[in-house]
Chains A and B, each alone.
Chain A
């Protein structure tokens, strides 16, 4: 197969919220940029975000970025890096104002300002009481934001490569990143996109689990690619289970429902969150609510014939509020749960939702790994932002609304950092002679293998293994077994066979390549989880029930090479604020 080469100032992989915000910065600076996406930009999974985007605008009452910062640090169970968290919370209000100026159709208050709703884990005055911080467009905030960002990019004339799939990083002998190899999905052609800077914004990998709120395309490509290129993945044991996925379907019901006054009931009609979080109740952090729900179900107080879910009640909000603030939820409940929430409660279960870990970066979006300059040595020419990155602002548990904020704050900051880097590094570095060879060999093996494994079957086994061995509650023996099993599935995944031999939109090949990324993420998750002998945020172990700051206040770094782990410290020192010292977490 021939391989063509193209040159750019920068390549952005991903056109979700993070990729589009970064691309806008680069395009408006007049740079030659290629933005790749597996799907048309507005089909990226940011479109599915419902509840809103967090920023201390204070439109509904007093609020401050410092309170937002405290909530985020506490929500992260102190694993978040406080320099990055301060940056996020300070920049958030400006980022929202920008989105409004770009045309985002936010809901409004009577005085014309942006409406904000309460959300889990967001409080005023350092945990005193819930605060209204989530800026929203009904329950379609992600849709409104993603379309607005795309529209702004149309105005800026950004160059998109739609239905192009990045396959591997190109690096030289010094480890500098020089671009990516990518496949045009319509023709199956492989190219090298050479760039002075490469920015990953490929989103999450929720599809490693059987039951997830994530889209089919959320296959962790950026993580798989980084791992294959020898870079570590950070904190992969931390997966957020969203409390309210529709039972049986996985589709999300936003926390905004509880923000607007909905609450959870067990089979006895008891509002059980009052027992687990007397102060914040249904608006406690997600890890806390998900565990409470799982406990109710485990102890036999689940609802339904199988006693396998709990109920989300919102009929008391009234038709008018539901239609005005939660119209999409009503649509989803009717379609996927066969209930009209205006009358009946929605059956919900904790469902895999968000990956707190990712490619390690600093708060400029530069990818950093252990190396010559210490644990945070910059990988020259490589950047990451959004769900694929780990800055780390979400630590062991993300607060609702903080991901959309993360996308626009770090999308922009990373774009700006790339612009500075390009000013200082005007020339293209030379491509190594064998650039692209690994990619071609991998594709060739896939296209020609006979008598190999069925990708659909391997994917199913991976998902079952993750679901069973690495769920809301984690047990020592299931984790140990899980590691052995996932390594076995990994070996099978190295031997996939596809039947489709066409060049044109060969989705069998695309799905197999996605599976090769997913399985790296699954392995990283299981191995990191097995090794972490404490409970923190979303990682809850039956045999080590407490958080252990003496031994485990540190980030995990998983390397594909040797399937091994390393660790690095947490940044407790913010940029200007005083440090929030780890303390017991009660809601």
Chain B
């Protein structure tokens, strides 16, 4: 299988370049990540993040034939050759497929991603009906892989000001939680020309999310809540 990978080592290279590898796959190598492990056996200087190899840790997000995805759940059989691999777009490249994720996490942290409830904690669990709990489905499953935010043009232009789809999805995850008491403060925080309103519903985020989550829908719901406040 032919794979072309963007390589860059700040210790040795002036700028990034593409390098092609011809890898011999074993029958058990079904996913792109398996192929990348083979590349690394051929060339130990090729660097990338990976851990769980089953699509739950969010480590190995990369740009695969022009589209963001996780190498570990992308079947090699589904890929057009030569496969072109680049780092996630829009984030500073540190080395090979390693990008600097600080801006992404900063935005995630900016939405106060934790339950806020200032009542004294009860003895037992806080009760929540199965229906209220179901409101969190499609939200809490995010693995913070950044596939969505790094495919969003608004995030590329304003990564410091626009929260981005991943962060907004999590903002809504807490707004939607019946146990959280900070909805008003959360909405105040997002009522801003950049933090939320840079989203122009381009839907790239939905298209790439490897967990089939829908940030655009969550963003829409936040906007609805804001409108209701005005009325």
Contacts and interface: CB of A to CB of B under 8 A. Distances in A.
Contacts, number: 150
Given A39-B59, A43-B52, A456-B41, A112 B47 contact: no
Interface string B42-59: 011101111111111111
A336 B31 CA distance: 9
Contacts of A511: 44
A336 B51 contact: no
Contacts of A48: 52, 54, 56-57
Given A154-B114, A507-B47, A97 B58 contact: no
B224 interface: no
Q: Interface centre among A108, A154, A217, A498, by most B CB within 10 Å?
A: A108
A186 B57 contact: no
A475 interface: no
A53 B144 CA distance: 23
A151 B143 contact: no
A506 B54 contact: no
Interface string A105-137: 111111111100000000000000000000001
Contacts of A332: 54
Contacts of A151: 113-115
A407 to B, nearest CB: 17
Interface in B118-158: 121, 123-130, 132-133, 136, 140-141, 143-144
A48 B55 CA distance: 9
A143 B140 CA distance: 9
Nearest to A98: B121
A76 to B, nearest CB: 28
B188 interface: no
A108 B47 contact: no
A100 B9 contact: no
Chain B: interface secondary structure? loop
Contacts of A144: 140
A335 B45 contact: no
Given A48-B52, A105-B136, A215-B52, A112 B128 contact: yes
A109 B128 CA distance: 9
Contacts of B50: 216
A441 interface: no
Contacts of B117: 101
Nearest to B124: A97
Interface in A325-353: 328, 331-332, 335-336
Q: Interface centre among B9, B75, B112, B114, by most A CB within 10 Å?
A: B114
Given A108-B129, A215-B52, A499 B57 contact: no
Contacts of B55: 331, 335
Given A100-B126, A105-B140, A502 B12 contact: yes
Contacts of A152: 114
B141 A140 contact: yes
Give chain A's interface residue range (CB within 8 Å of chain B): 35 or more
Given A103-B115, A215-B51, A505-B47, A43 B59 contact: yes
A503 interface: yes
Contact of B130 (A108, A155, A505): A108
A504 B94 contact: yes
A186 B124 CA distance: 44
B109 interface: yes
Given A102-B115, A143-B143, A144-B140, A42 B133 contact: no
A500 interface: yes
A3 interface: no
Contacts of A108: 127-130, 132-133
B177 A103 contact: yes
A150 to B, nearest CB: 8
Contacts of B125: 96-97, 100-101, 106, 113-114
A111 B124 CA distance: 13
A42 B114 CA distance: 14
A500 B44 contact: yes
Nearest to B50: A216
B98 interface: yes
B9 A502 contact: yes
A304 interface: no
Interface in B40-82: 40-41, 43-45, 47-59, 73, 75
B45 to A, nearest CB: 4
11 contacts: A40-B105, A43-B52, A44-B57, A101-B117, A108-B132, A140-B141, A155-B114, A215-B51, A335-B73, A500-B45, A501-B11
> Nearest 10 CB-CB pairs, A to B?
A103-B115, A112-B127, A508-B44, A151-B114, A500-B45, A43-B57, A100-B125, A155-B114, A502-B11, A215-B51
